[in-house]
Amino acid sequence: MAPLLDVCQLTVELPTPSGWVRPVNDVSFQLAPGETLGLVGESGCGKTMLSLALMGLLPPGARRAGEAWLAARNAGGAGRLNVVALGDRELVALRGREIGMVFQEPMTALNPVLRIGVQVEEAIRAHLPHSGRGGSAPGPGEIGRRALQALERAAVPEPQLRARQFPHQLSGGLRQRAMIAMALAADPQILIADEPTTALDVTVQKQILELLARLRRELGLGLLFITHDLGVVAQVADRLAVMYAGRIVEEGPVVEVLRRPRHPYTEGLLRASPQLRRRKLEPIAGVVPRLDALPPGCAFEPRCPYRRAECAAAVPELRLAAPEHRARCILVEPVVEEVTR
């Protein structure tokens, strides 16, 4: 199936007192309809910056390069548009309508003084085709009905009651459901969820993950799911991308990557993650490098237990380690890529 999103060598640069840094560096991936791509990596590796770049929400002064092709429904002749090349006006039209987004802390994304229902209605109204011609714009009653439907779709119990309440009157889990309702109000094809369950209890997290899985199935959503929790990503994702210092260092089918990691950083994350089974945790040595002081070659080299002299020479390419499984490490014995692709 043609991908919904085709990201090609996306780079984001930010100005800092010590020069330009690249929180997102040469990132490429594809997202198909109904597919979930999990994106993991430790704090500061660029997960949020990547999603903000796709939404056109980068901090002021940021520079972008590369391409991010979106199979937009209203893209005109070409059928695709490059998000990276769009201006602010076009990006506003795109947000919500083509790509929805859910954040870690719904309290900061919701307006505390507006009722939930009003906020969902606003999300719907913002993406209606401009009324006037044809006179087919839905009235307030219709929009109210659609807002309730949106809440119902996100499995908010008693949507009529909840629509009249304010954000602080909802539990964390319900607030996240309301956020999901708003993100999906204009029927986007892609949902970016940035740590949507990190602030929630495990039992509530489970419910939200189940909800997202169902919505993705029913609506054919492409889901980009950002987390730092390898257990969570194993539950939700089909494919997994591991980021380190702005780059994707490993990518492949989620179970394959977690069972047979090919990049030493992924292996390190797995060894350091606490599981219900008690075992000796093995922290990764050292610390994440600063973006303004990256090592010259492989960014993981200073911490890598397998490093060799040549690792510091140049940034390793992503190599095919197994079908659909790539890792950015010189230790990977590249398998010959099939010619038919």
Partner 1 sequence: MSEATLLEARNLRKSFLTAAGVFAGASRGAPRQAAVDGVNLDLAPGETLAIVGESGSGKTTLARLLLRLIEPDAGEIRFGGRDLLAARGAELRRLRREMQMVFQDPFASLNPRLCVEAMVGEPLEIHEPALSRATRRERVGAILETVGLGADAMPRYPHEFSGGQRQRIGIARALVLRPRLVVADEPVSALDVSVGAQILELLQNLQREFSLTYLLISHSLPVVAQLATRIAVMRAGKFVEVGVAEHVLAQPAHPYTRALLAAVPEVPA
Ligand X SMILES: Nc1ncnc2c1ncn2[C@@H]1O[C@H](COP(=O)(O)OP(=O)(O)OP(=O)(O)O)[C@@H](O)[C@H]1O
Binding site for ligand SF4 (CB under 6 A): 263-264, 298, 300-301, 304, 306-307, 311, 316, 329-331
- Count interface residues toward ligand X (CB under 6 A): 15
If one counts every other C-beta atom within 10 angstroms of the C-beta of residue 86, the result is: 16
Candidates 90, 201, 310, 324; binder of partner 1 (CB under 8 A) is 201
Q: Is the dihedral of CA 322, 323, 329, 335 positive or negative?
A: positive
Are 11 and 66 in contact by the 8 Å Cβ rule? The answer is: yes
270 touching partner 1, by CB under 8 A: yes
From the CB of 55, what's the least distance to ligand X, in Å?
Answer: 13
Token pair in block for residue 323: 């079908």
Our CB check for ligand X shows the closer of 59 and 231 to be 59
Our CB check for ligand SF4 shows the closer of 13 and 301 to be 301
The CB-based long-range contact list for 198-206 (8 Å cut-off, 24+ gap) reads: 198/104, 198/227, 198/228, 198/229, 199/104, 199/105, 199/172, 200/172, 200/173, 200/176, 201/172, 201/173, 204/171, 204/172, 204/173, 205/232
Our CB check for partner 1 shows the closer of 7 and 299 to be 299
Q: Is the dihedral of CA 49, 53, 57, 58 positive or negative?
A: positive
Candidates 11, 25, 36, 48; binder of ligand X (CB under 6 A) is 48
DSSP-assigned letter for residue 95: B
Candidates 45, 71, 221, 230; binder of ligand X (CB under 6 A) is 45
Our CB check for ligand X shows the closer of 63 and 217 to be 63
48 touching Mg ion, by CB under 5 A: yes
From the CB of 47, what's the least distance to Mg ion, in Å?
Answer: 5
Contacts of residue 137, Cβ cutoff 8 Å, sequence gap at least 6: 128, 129, 131
Binding mask 59-88 for ligand X (x = CB under 6 A): x-----------------------------
H/E element, 210? helix 202-219
By a kind-dependent CB cut-off of 5 to 8 A, residue 59 interacts, out of ligand X, partner 1, Mg ion, none, with: ligand X
Burial level of 138, CB count in 10 A (0-12/13-18/19+)? Answer: middle
- What is the Cα–Cα distance from 315 to 329, expressed in whole angstroms? 9
- What is the Cα–Cα distance from 173 to 198, expressed in whole angstroms? 11
Candidates 50, 102, 193, 209; binder of partner 1 (CB under 8 A) is 209
36 touching Mg ion, by CB under 5 A: no
14 touching partner 1, by CB under 8 A: no
107 touching ligand X, by CB under 6 A: no
53 touching ligand X, by CB under 6 A: no
By a kind-dependent CB cut-off of 5 to 8 A, residue 318 interacts, out of ligand X, ligand SF4, Mg ion, none, with: none
| Residue given tokens 């179970």 in the structure block | 255
Query: Binding residues for partner 1, per CB under 8 A?
Result: 42-43, 172, 201-203, 205-206, 209, 228-232, 234-235, 255, 258-259, 268-270, 272-278, 281-284, 287
Query: Binding residues for ligand X, per CB under 6 A?
Result: 14, 16, 21, 23, 41, 43-49, 59, 228, 291
